[in-house]
């Protein structure tokens, strides 16, 4: 009997859980870990098929990835092209000792959206995005 790949097992469990629990949001933390576990032979092509499968699953999928703060590239293998949306989170210095959490919607397919940075606050159990509260000194 042929051994199943990690991606096949992931898809089976994800689909079975969807059928039994009917969840609406799937969070995968993180893309680099998924790539290591999946041992993709052709990452660009296999990620394309995985993104397609996730879309067909009928849930909102948040796929978390980190990037070097000095980099302008949001992906290594074309994931930014495959994704329907990209949200960039950063910790921005606003002074000698102050740091602010900021969020920017870089891409949201088929949606007109603001691409400016916004301050991200967590208050009373909710996240809120506001205009940037200060500037770097």
Whether 1 and 37 share a structural domain:
yes
Whether 70 and 89 share a structural domain:
no
Whether 75 and 10 share a structural domain:
yes
- pLDDT tens readout for residues 106-121: 999 999 999 999 999 9
Whether 68 and 7 share a structural domain:
yes
For 13, 60, 70, 102, the CA distances from 10, given in Å and listed in that order, are: 5, 17, 33, 32
Region for residue 105 given its phi and psi (left: phi exceeds 0; alpha: psi -120 to 50; beta: otherwise): beta
- pLDDT tens readout for residues 7-23: 999 999 999 999 999 99
Q: Say which residues have a Cβ less than 8 Å from residue 36's Cβ, sequence separation at least 6.
A: none
Range of the domain at 96: 85-137
What's residue 127's pLDDT? 93
Whether 79 and 104 share a structural domain:
no
Q: CB count, 10 Å around CB of 98?
A: 12
pTM of the full predicted structure? 0.78
Whether 37 and 12 share a structural domain:
yes
- Residue scoring higher pLDDT (124 or 96): 124
Overall domain count for the chain: 2
Whether 115 and 130 share a structural domain:
yes
Whether 67 and 89 share a structural domain:
no
Q: Provide, for the chain, the percentages of residues in helix, strand and coil under a 3-state DSSP scheme, each rounded to the nearest 5.
A: 30, 30, 40
- pLDDT tens readout for residues 20-45: 999 999 999 988 898 889 998 998 89
**Average pLDDT of 51-57?**
94
């Amino acid at each position: 009997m042929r051994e199943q790949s990690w991606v096949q097992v992931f898809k089976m469990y994800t689909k079975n859980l969807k059928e039994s629990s009917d969840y609406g949001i799937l969070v995968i933390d993180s893309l680099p870990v998924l790539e290591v576990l999946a041992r993709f032979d052709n990452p660009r092509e296999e990620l394309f098929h995985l993104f397609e499968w996730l879309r067909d699953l009928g849930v909102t999928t948040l796929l978390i990835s980190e990037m070097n703060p000095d980099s302008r590239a949001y992906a290594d293998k074309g994931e930014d092209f495959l994704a329907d949306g990209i949200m960039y989170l950063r910790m921005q210095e606003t002074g000698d000792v102050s740091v602010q959490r900021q969020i920017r919607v870089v891409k949201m397919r088929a949606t007109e959206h603001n691409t400016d940075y916004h301050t991200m606050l967590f208050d009373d159990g909710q996240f809120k995005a506001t205009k940037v509260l200060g500037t770097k000194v």
